[in-house]
Amino acid sequence: MFDFVRKYLDLAVKLLMVGVLVAAPVSMYMIIGFAPLEAVMGAPQKIFYYHVPIAMLSYLGLFICFAGSAAYLYSGQEEYDSIALSGAEVGTLFVTLVMITGMLWARPSWGAYWTWDPRLTTSLVLWLIYSGYLLLRSQVEDSTLRAKYAAVMGIVGFVDVPIVHYSVQLWTRGIHPVVDKTGADHGMDPRMLKTLMACFPTIALIFVLLFLVRLRYEFAHRSLERLKAQSKG
C-alpha cells in the first residue's frame, strides 16, 4: 500500500498545488467582494469564513494522528508513525491558526482577545497536548521508543477533541456561539453560506497539500536515516 502512496505522492502534490492556486483567490474574492457585511459585528465577522473550516480540519489532522498511532501500535509499521506525525503537525498548525484568528475576532466582538470560555479553554488544552506530543518526539533518541510513546500520547490526547467540539453544549454558560447548525434554520444569509461553502474546499485542499508534503518529507528523511544507519553498521 505504501509503495502506491510513495509512487503517486509527487503527482498528488502538484495537482493539489494547482487546485490551491485556483481556489484560494476565488475564496478570498468571495470573502472580500461577495459576502455581505454582518449587521451586528461588521467587518470582523469575515474572519468566520476561514476560522470555521480551519477548526473543522484541525480535528481531521488530529484524527489522522489518532488513527495512525493506533495502526502503528497494532502493526509496528513505521509508515503509520509517519502518518501520525504528519497529521499531528498539520493539525497543531491548524489549532494554532484557529486560536489566533479566534482571538483577532474576539477582540472587536467581545472586547477582549481571550476569555476563559469553555471552548477557548479546551482549545488551549488541545494545543498544549499536541505541542507536548511534538516536544516529546524531539526529546526521545531511540526511534522505536519515540514512536511508541508518541502513539500512546496521540491516542490519549485525541480524547480532548470531542470535548472541544461539544464544549459549547456541555458548558452552556460560555459565550462562544454554536456555528455548526445545518439545514433550514442555520439563519445565515445565502451569500454568506455560499462564501463559507467556497472556503471549505479551499482550506481542505490546503490541508491535504500540507499533510502530503509533510508525509513526503518524512518518508525521504527516514530513508536517509536508514541509509546512514546502515553505513555506520
Partner 1 sequence: MSFVVAAYAAIWIFFITYFSVIMRKTSAARKALAAVSPGAVPMGQGAKPSGLTGSSDQG
Cβ–Cβ < 8 Å for 64, 87:
yes
**How far apart are the C-alpha atoms of 140 and 120, rounded to whole Å?**
31
Cell of 142: 531511540
- Collapsing DSSP to helix, strand or coil, 52 comes out as helix
* Minimum CB distance to partner 1 smaller for 31 or for 88: 31
* Minimum CB distance to partner 1 smaller for 44 or for 149: 44
| Minimal distance, residue 210 CB to partner 1, in Å | 6
* Minimum CB distance to partner 1 smaller for 95 or for 155: 95
Dihedrals phi, psi of 38, to nearest 5 degrees: -75, 140
CB atoms within 10 A of CB 142: 9
| Minimal distance, residue 27 CB to partner 1, in Å | 10
| Minimal distance, residue 125 CB to partner 1, in Å | 21
* Minimum CB distance to partner 1 smaller for 96 or for 163: 96
Cβ–Cβ < 8 Å for 126, 85:
no
| Minimal distance, residue 178 CB to partner 1, in Å | 21
| Minimal distance, residue 105 CB to partner 1, in Å | 7
* Minimum CB distance to partner 1 smaller for 73 or for 104: 104
Q: Decide: residue 66, CB within 10 A, 0-12 exposed, 13-18 middle, 19+ buried.
A: buried
Cell of 123: 482549545
- Please name the residues in contact with 119: beta carbons below 8 A apart, sequence gap of 6 or more: 164, 167, 168, 174, 176
Q: What is the distance of C-alpha 172 from the center of its chain?
A: 25
* Minimum CB distance to partner 1 smaller for 110 or for 166: 110
What is the contact surface with partner 1 in residues (CB under 8 A)? Answer: 28, 31, 43-44, 46-47, 50-51, 54, 93, 96-97, 100-101, 104-105, 107-108, 206, 209-210, 213-214, 216-217, 220-221, 223-224, 226-228, 230-233
| Minimal distance, residue 74 CB to partner 1, in Å | 23
